[in-house]
Structure 1
Amino acid sequence: MDLEPGLAALRPLGGFFALRTTGADATPPGPLPTLAESYAGTPSDARRDALASRVETVARRLRAPEPRVAASIAHQGLAARLWSAALGCAALYGRVPDLDPALLRWDAGAAAPDDLWLTGLRPLPGDAATLVDTVLHGHLEPLAAALRARYGLATGLLRGNAGSALAGAARELDRWARANGRTEVADRARPLTAALFTHPLLSPTGTLTGTAFRRRSCCLYYRVPGGGVCGDCCFPRPPRPSPRAASG
């Protein structure tokens, strides 16, 4: 099945999977930076730094107690968007669009699917090697480097976020496929996800059993007021603050 100009088959899966394409859906709301510019911190004009803006937005909405908590949650959200769009295309079409960061414009203040706009539709193979190159190397490594430099996030945490985001996308895709009688989509997504988790940057992040995932790190969401721990967290309950942290 060839990629459609508007990638309409993704829309029933929900906003995290859907991807706007310029010319097919509409045009972005004004000039937006590309993800390549956002990772590098080099917007093409006087617009605010999109990555910092997204972290600030997350911090404000969740009342995050420190910037690195908001940065981690923002990272996992963008990772989930990218894995969802790529994995959804691979499972539904057998192909993925080229998601080069220079082709994706980013509205850091918008929610999915209005946050990402693909400005060119170049089909690529829908195999694990292509998804690794497209999402993991093309996006998540430069994004992680930017967040480590700006917010001091640990490499293991960021890789754990990448693994958790991939597992979450695969789980939701599997759920949708089975609920809608599209078992062939689930049958394509499961082995593809398993193959992705054999990559040396993803295999240490946690344990995948079917569609269930248990990560070996924590995204820090428990530090958000009322946050608790996520379903795949390495902690069974929120860690208690150390006496030094509680007194300081």
Structure 2
Amino acid sequence: LWSPALATLVRHGIVLDLAGLQRADDGPALRLPRAAGWYADALDDLAVPALYAQVTRHLRALADGLRVKVAPRLLDGNSASALVEAARALSAADPAAREALTGLTTRLLDTGHLRGTGATTGPGLGFRRRSCCLYYRAPNGTKCGDCGLAGTGPR
């Protein structure tokens, strides 16, 4: 969900309007039947909160629909991690957008529920979470690269 929103803002200067976003009943596929949004500079004072609101509204709805309840701050950490990884992937695909993506991602990480979920650790959007997604507890799971528990035991 972060990738198309980031890319559209950085590459085209448009904050996507995700009000009509549809999710498949049988999987993770998303569909936006009508492209809509508004023009804004990627680092505009209104663009960051607008982008944050568009994406997190859908993430909250997704969390509310889970069969099991997950701690809200854990989900916030997952969202922050997904944001950073989306920005890193977009930067790799479009190195000319790296500076804008880094600035936008840094500002988003200091917005709303993403604030305090982790910290950037260096250039290239290195990131360390303050929470753990608990994937290491799944069969054959490991600690993620941005895990807050990294360095506290076997990976």
TM-score bracket relative to the smaller structure? 0.7 to 0.9
Show the counterpart of 1:176: 93
Q: Name the structure 1 match of 2:44.
A: none
What letter matches 1:192 in structure 2?
Answer: L
| Partner residue, 1:231 | 145
Distance 1:108 1:161 in 2: 22
1:92 aligns with 2:4: no
Contact 2:79 2:114 in 1 (8 A): yes
The answer on whether the counterparts of 2:16 and 2:54 sit within 8 Å (CA) in structure 1 is no
Report the counterpart of residue 122 of structure 1 in structure 2. 36
Partner of 1:186: 98
Matched, 1:134 2:54: yes
- Aligned pair count reads 146
Q: Which is richer in helix?
A: 1
Find the aligned partners of 1:110 and 1:145 in 2 and give their Cα distance.
16
Shift of 1:118: 0.7
1:58-73 residue pairs with structure 2 within 5 A?
none
Bigger Rg, structure 1 or 2: 1
Residues of 2 paired with 1:238 and 1:195: CA distance? 29
Q: 1:145 to 1:105 in 2, by over 3 A?
A: closer
State the TM-score, normalizing by the size of structure 1.
0.54
* Of 71, 81, 93, the match for 1:154: 71
- The alpha-carbon deviation at position 152 of structure 1 amounts to 2.2
Structure 1 gaps of 5+ residues are: 1-81, 241-248
Partner of 1:27: none
Which blocks of at least 5 consecutive residues in structure 2 are unaligned?
41-46
Task: Decide whether the 8 Å contact of 2:9 with 2:16 is kept in 1.
Answer: no
Equivalences for residues 6-25 of structure 1 within 5 A: none
Relative contact order, higher structure (CA 8 A, sep 6+):
1
- Contact 1:229/1:237 (<8 A) preserved: no
- Report what 1:212 is aligned to: 126
Q: Equivalents in 2 of 1:173, 1:203: separation in Å?
A: 22
